[in-house]
Structure 1
Amino acid sequence: MIPIYHENNTHGTAVFPLQVYSHHDKDGFFSVSQHWHEELEWICAEHGVLNLTVRGRSFTLHPGEFCFINSGELHEIKSGGPSLHHAIVFNPDILDFTLYDICQHSFIRPVTSGNLIFPTLPSVFSPEESQMILFHMQEIIRLYHTLPSCASLSIKIHILQILELFFQADCFLENTISSKEKDSQNKLKKVIEYIHENYAGPISLPDLAKICFMSPNYFCHYFKQEIGKPPIAFINEYRIQKACQILTDSELPVSQVAISVGFDNFSYFIRKFREYKNVTPTEYRSHL
């Protein structure tokens, strides 16, 4: 399933807004295109390799490694072959206390308000501290999937213990984004929304640049800097993701799939599909 640009899915329930997604990808096809959501997302790799892009920065997670995605950050995830990874997605308000005490003021509210944000990769932690964070994440995952007595309370305690480790190591970052940067990011999100809504038809570079009030040349530079790839590559990759969805959910001929996702050149579609998925569309369908 390919999420929309601004993910509006409900994660967890109204009384416990947390959900753990465990993805076992046996073929190496797992891919989630650029999107963002209000919730925090903590990702850890158990087997295989994950390739991530967060706010235009690309990096790789290997088994036993983890990362943090803050509220509103554009990100995408791809498997680098067969893999198993887990994503803990939750509304930070789950941590708030009704009683406004010193803990709420000094430790909880700065995180839930977004004044303090997580570094994507907590590289400043010692190996021992990293192992403790990984332990707490693994416990959250285990508790979520097994639901023993007091699971919700135990999960919350493990999240707070991770926050405690961050405060003890002084690893939180101050959110220093300016109003100008925020406005620029919002325009970029509108561009991605436009692509998601119009991928099946022609999309011109001048039209995308116009959304950001930029010249086409400057827009290309800005887009690649923020997303990690040129606009054309992003559009092609998104179209291929939509093609994968159609190949999975229907028996439509491959030539019709190409047309339905915006490729008017069948050979180009096949070439790009193989480039992004390492198989042809027919081979992809045969793996399902």
Structure 2
Amino acid sequence: MKKTLELLEPIGEPVSQDMKEKLTHGSRQFRMSVHVTKVPPMNNLVLYSHWHEELELLFMVKGAAKFHVGQEKMVVQSGEVVFIQPNMLHSAIRLNQEEIIFCAVLVHFNFLSSLENDQIQQQYVFPLFLNNRRYPLLIKRELEEKLRLIPLLEEVRDLYQQEAHGYEMLIKARMFEVLCRLEKCAAEYPPTGLPGQSRGGNSSMLAKKTLAYVQQNYSKRITLSDMAQQVNMSPSYFCRFMKKQFDLSPMDFLNEYRISEAVSLLETTDKKIMEISGMTGFSNVNRFTEMFKKTYGCRPMDYRKRLRQNR
């Protein structure tokens, strides 16, 4: 049986320099995977900013989180589904201290494609992976009650975990059924009607470039001008761009990333607080403590103590 329940915790460098996720989804012979993730109450970060080639259908099992998909922001609650198209930058943060559990089903183009370029591939599969097929980003409870996608996705999860003989064929059949049900609402979302795709392609590329720069340089001194220069923008225009893309100012975004790296060090090492402060780019330990308390509601040392007690 496959293990799919994952605690959201440090996994080294989860993304490459251009923020493409490094995690392999399935194998070359079976290009899909299922991940069930449980987010501890202490973690503010639910899903780190990343993108991948696979189509992703994510449904919330428990709790609620604020998702950022492309240029769209949405609150996702239990019983709702997020439809994330291939190569779309996405992330999520928690809304409250309630426990969060979500399940993500990721499917590569090769899993759904045919050797022959038949009608199914031309009319449905190609448009879907070329971002010419539009479905709602968020399938709310009212729409989910009509489409009934979650029971199908739960069946895919169970088949994936149990690996009974022939499960691969059943998973493929269920995924085609999911797409068939989505067709019922596709007409309401024409190709030009989804923000953050055709009109926001360049913005998405610049956002990925900004993320990559922060990931590679967060431990150094970084100014607003340094960040703006990476995407050839003036500082003032870059501030507006970051607010639109991430709902944060550039420096708040940088500090949040630094804090997330500091949390990884607190959880996985015995390094002193002052040392972690310096390693994550903060000018002094007081500033680090101030920013950490603003994000997690406690001092770094208190966070580490609480973590060890819970373990």
TM-score normalised by L of structure 2: 0.84
- Residue 278 and residue 146 in structure 1: after superposition, are their counterparts in 2 closer, same or farther (change >3 A)? farther
- Residue 124 and residue 281 in structure 1: after superposition, are their counterparts in 2 closer, same or farther (change >3 A)? closer
Whole-angstrom distance in 2 between the partners of 1:25 and 1:72: 24
Tell me, what secondary structure is at the counterpart of 1:209? helix
Asked whether the equivalents of residues 80 and 141 of structure 2 are also in contact (C-alpha less than 8 Å), the reply is: no
Map Cα deviations across residues 27-58 of structure 1 (whole Å, 9 max, x no partner).
Answer: 34153332222222221111122221122433
Tell me, what secondary structure is at the counterpart of 2:271? coil
Match of 1:164 among 172, 176, 180: 180
Whole-angstrom distance in 1 between the partners of 2:59 and 2:39: 14
Matched residue, 2:23: 9
1:204 matched to 2:223: yes
Whole-angstrom distance in 1 between the partners of 2:174 and 2:192: 24
Whole-angstrom distance in 1 between the partners of 2:270 and 2:86: 38
1:88 matched to 2:105: yes
Matched residue, 1:272: 291
Whole-angstrom distance in 2 between the partners of 1:267 and 1:8: 34
Map Cα deviations across residues 86-142 of structure 1 (whole Å, 9 max, x no partner).
Answer: 111221331101122222221222113332244211359635324x11111111112
Let me know the Cα RMSD of the aligned residues: 2.2
Q: Residue type of the partner of 1:40?
A: L
Match of 1:45 among 40, 50, 60: 60
Tell me, what secondary structure is at the counterpart of 1:33? strand
1:215 matched to 2:234: yes
- Residue 124 and residue 32 in structure 1: after superposition, are their counterparts in 2 closer, same or farther (change >3 A)? closer
Summarize the alignment of residues 169-248 of structure 1 with structure 2, pairs less than 5 Å apart.
169-170=185-186, 173-174=190-191, 177-178=197-198, 181-248=200-267
Return the offset for 1:214: 1.4
Tell me, what secondary structure is at the counterpart of 1:107? helix
Matched residue, 2:149: 133
- Matched length: 286
Tell me, what secondary structure is at the counterpart of 1:46? strand
Whole-angstrom distance in 1 between the partners of 2:150 and 2:302: 37
Asked whether the equivalents of residues 57 and 228 of structure 1 are also in contact (C-alpha less than 8 Å), the reply is: no
Asked whether the equivalents of residues 28 and 83 of structure 1 are also in contact (C-alpha less than 8 Å), the reply is: no
Asked whether the equivalents of residues 37 and 71 of structure 1 are also in contact (C-alpha less than 8 Å), the reply is: yes
- Residue 173 and residue 93 in structure 1: after superposition, are their counterparts in 2 closer, same or farther (change >3 A)? farther
Return the offset for 1:261: 0.4
Asked whether the equivalents of residues 93 and 112 of structure 1 are also in contact (C-alpha less than 8 Å), the reply is: no
1:74 matched to 2:89: yes
- Residue 284 and residue 17 in structure 1: after superposition, are their counterparts in 2 closer, same or farther (change >3 A)? farther
Tell me which stretches of 4 or more aligned residues in structure 1 moved more than 4 Å.
175-178
Map Cα deviations across residues 135-187 of structure 1 (whole Å, 9 max, x no partner).
Answer: 11111112112222222211111111111011133355426755x84334322
Tell me, what secondary structure is at the counterpart of 1:148? coil
Q: Residue type of the partner of 1:44?
A: F
Matched residue, 2:281: 262
Whole-angstrom distance in 2 between the partners of 1:173 and 1:238: 35
Q: Residue type of the partner of 1:237?
A: E
Return the offset for 1:280: 2.5
Tell me, what secondary structure is at the counterpart of 2:165? coil
- Residue 265 and residue 137 in structure 1: after superposition, are their counterparts in 2 closer, same or farther (change >3 A)? same
Identity of aligned residues (%): 26
Asked whether the equivalents of residues 80 and 138 of structure 2 are also in contact (C-alpha less than 8 Å), the reply is: no
Matched residue, 1:27: 41
Matched residue, 2:4: none
Q: Residue type of the partner of 1:250?
A: T
Asked whether the equivalents of residues 56 and 224 of structure 1 are also in contact (C-alpha less than 8 Å), the reply is: no
List gaps (5 residues or longer) in structure 2. Answer: 1-9
Deviates more, 1:212-221 or 1:98-107: 98-107
- Residue 25 and residue 189 in structure 1: after superposition, are their counterparts in 2 closer, same or farther (change >3 A)? closer
